[in-house]
């Protein structure tokens, strides 16, 4: 099943980003080092991975390139997802690559650290090349996104003619790709942590509700089943989450003897 | 350790969409890959809340029930210390007076317990057992840690929002635990917090050589009262 999702894209204007909105500690007027410093600060301060990757793509706009994109591929090509694109052309090309199931994001250079990243040979993908050329894109550099020896995606830089970065620009582009990897890993950790905490909370809530139903049963001299019923009725009447009311009973902040036992 | 069996079982887990079947693959990794008797896992919050999520065989399932009933054991220690607890000879180990005798009775001679944690949050414990005393070599201990890491992911997959199996754990969780209801009643009788009341119930069950479930049922039926 081909699954493409486009976070961010569509909510932004698609004017070519000659002056993209890099926020954080640095604007694009600064030097490369202030730009990188700003992105690293964003890594700590910004929670939304889509916003972070958008800023990485915007920072890539300082290179002599036409457009750029970041896409993720975890397991198989059908699951490739576009995470950020500098303009409509880049977005369209990644979509096209998902349709074809092949292209520079999916099959580009897997060497994570070339000293001077070379353009990929677009002749490897004739259908892709034709589509790119119809948009004025004639060359592309694919930077592999790797985490712990796992290929998780690619950052692709597009050019209207033969792209040559040189060592300095190449190192800057690589740093941007590394920041993208960190942003993606961090968002995954945050997600996992959130889910783990939810699970932990759900266990605690369920225990509290059962304990409270026993307390209500004892205080009201009824069965545990009726105690649970009273607890639920009271929660609904008071507009309180069941677990919140249960904790109030456990903490003796709520006195079940005063509860109305009519349904 | 049979690395090939272990690796192929772990690969099968990664390719598996269904968390329950994923646990089956992990049990194969433990049993066939490491020559162990079985595997079980629980989602936990402190020592009060526990939901058994998997047991490869009746002994493994009893082991999970037992650790909750007595509130101690290698798995509880693995959870609270967030470190593996490897016990090569349970009968010769004096650390858990309530846990050890019944565990040995059901045929558990060695236990290897691992914490289940994700992104710094401990969500439960994994138990591997053997029916005769044995050590885990360094390779096997590492294999156990790999199994535990995969089990942590599986439990999260069971609860992840939007997961097709998200309801699975919720369904398990909605099974009422009489021990918590009884500890609520005893909390009122003794005027203590329910967690303290649960410890009182566990202690009573241990002293009278009865199961926690039996004692809880007696309390709920009002045939047993604590306190004045």
Per-position DSSP letters for A71-138, written without gaps between them? EE-SSSGGG-EEEEESSHHHHHHHHHHHHHT-SHHHHS---S--SSPPPP-GGG-HHHHHHHHHTT--
Residue B160: list chain A partners with CB under 8 A. Answer: 195
Between A and B, how many CB-CB pairs are < 8 A? 103
Would you call B181 and A192 a contact, using CB atoms and an 8 Å cutoff?
A: no
Would you call B123 and A202 a contact, using CB atoms and an 8 Å cutoff?
A: no
List strands edge to edge, sheet with B85-87.
Answer: B49-55, B38-45, B121-130, B110-118, B85-87
Instruction: Give A113's contacts (C-beta < 8 A, 6+ positions apart).
Output: A174
Instruction: Give A155's contacts (C-beta < 8 A, 6+ positions apart).
Output: A56, A60, A68, A69, A70, A142, A143, A145, A173, A176, A177, A180
A27 compared with A13, residue with greater pLDDT: A27
Distance CA B61, CA B52 (A): 8
pTM for this model (two decimals): 0.72
User: Do residues A143 and A104 make contact, with C-beta atoms less than 8 angstroms apart?
Assistant: no
User: Do residues B142 and B1 make contact, with C-beta atoms less than 8 angstroms apart?
Assistant: no
Residue A212: list chain B partners with CB under 8 A. Answer: 184
Best B154, B181, B196 member to test A by mutation, with max A CBs in 10 Å, is: B181
Distances (CA, A) of A42 to A69, A70, A121, A144, B201: 19, 17, 34, 22, 52
User: Do residues B50 and B44 make contact, with C-beta atoms less than 8 angstroms apart?
Assistant: yes
Q: What is the pLDDT of residue B199?
A: 94
User: Do residues B182 and B204 make contact, with C-beta atoms less than 8 angstroms apart?
Assistant: no
Would you call A196 and B123 a contact, using CB atoms and an 8 Å cutoff?
A: yes
Cβ–Cβ contacts within 10 Å for residue B159, how many? 24
pLDDT of residue A79 exceeding 80, the answer is no
Would you call A207 and B180 a contact, using CB atoms and an 8 Å cutoff?
A: yes
Q: What is the pLDDT of residue A28?
A: 52
Distance CA A175, CA B95 (A): 52
Digit-coded pLDDT (tens) for A140-195: 999 999 887 778 889 999 998 888 888 889 999 999 999 999 998 888 888 888 88
Digit-coded pLDDT (tens) for B179-226: 999 999 999 999 999 999 999 999 999 999 899 999 999 999 999 999
Write the ipTM: 0.83
Instruction: Give the gap in angstroms from C-alpha A44 to the nearest C-alpha of chain B.
Output: 17
Q: Which of A204, A212, A217 sits opposite B45 (nearest CB)?
A: A204
């Amino acid at each position: 099943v081909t699954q493409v999702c486009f976070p961010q894209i569509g909510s932004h204007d698609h004017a070519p980003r000659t002056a993209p909105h890099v926020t954080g500690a640095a604007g694009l007027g600064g030097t490369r080092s202030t730009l990188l410093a700003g992105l690293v600060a964003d890594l700590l301060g910004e929670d939304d991975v889509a916003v972070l990757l958008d800023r990485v793509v915007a920072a890539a706009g300082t290179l002599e390139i036409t457009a750029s994109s970041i896409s993720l591929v975890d397991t198989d090509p059908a699951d490739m997802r576009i995470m950020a694109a500098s303009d409509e052309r880049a977005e369209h090309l990644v979509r096209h690559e998902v349709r074809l199931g092949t292209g520079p994001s999916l099959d580009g250079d897997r060497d994570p650290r070339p000293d001077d990243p070379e353009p990929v040979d677009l002749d490897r993908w004739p259908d892709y090349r034709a589509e790119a050329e119809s948009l004025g894109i004639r060359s592309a550099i694919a930077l592999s996104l790797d985490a712990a020896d796992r290929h998780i995606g690619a950052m692709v830089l597009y050019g209207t003619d033969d792209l040559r970065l040189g060592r300095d620009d190449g190192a800057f582009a690589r740093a941007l790709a590394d920041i993208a990897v960190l942003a993606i890993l961090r968002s995954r950790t945050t997600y996992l942590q959130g889910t783990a905490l939810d699970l932990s909370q759900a266990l605690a809530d369920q225990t509290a509700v059962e304990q409270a139903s026993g307390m209500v049963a004892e205080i009201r001299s009824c069965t545990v089943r009726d105690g649970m019923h009273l607890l639920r009725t009271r929660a609904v009447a008071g507009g309180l989450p069941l677990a919140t009311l249960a904790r109030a009973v456990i903490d003796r902040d709520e006195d079940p003897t005063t509860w109305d036992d009519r349904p | 350790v049979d690395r090939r069996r272990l690796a192929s079982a772990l690969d099968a887990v990664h390719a598996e969409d269904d968390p329950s079947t994923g646990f089956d693959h992990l049990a194969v990794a433990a049993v066939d890959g490491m020559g162990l008797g079985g595997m079980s896992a629980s989602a936990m919050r402190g020592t009060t809340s526990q939901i058994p999520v998997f047991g490869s065989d009746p002994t493994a399932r009893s082991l999970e029930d037992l650790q909750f009933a007595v509130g101690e054991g290698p798995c509880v220690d693995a959870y609270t210390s967030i470190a593996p607890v490897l016990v090569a000879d349970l009968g010769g180990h004096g650390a858990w007076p309530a846990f050890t005798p019944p565990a040995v009775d059901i045929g558990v001679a060695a236990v290897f317990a691992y914490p289940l944690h994700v992104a710094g949050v401990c969500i439960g414990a994994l138990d591997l057992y053997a029916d005769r005393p044995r050590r885990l070599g360094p390779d096997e201990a590492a294999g156990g840690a790999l199994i535990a890491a995969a089990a942590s992911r599986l439990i999260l997959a069971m609860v992840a929002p939007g997961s097709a199996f998200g309801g699975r754990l919720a369904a398990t969780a909605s099974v009422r635990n009489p021990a918590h209801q009884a500890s609520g009643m005893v909390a009122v009788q003794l005027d203590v917090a329910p967690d303290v009341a649960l410890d009182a119930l566990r202690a009573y069950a241990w002293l009278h050589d009865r199961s926690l479930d039996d004692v809880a049922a007696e309390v709920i039926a009002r045939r047993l009262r604590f306190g004045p």
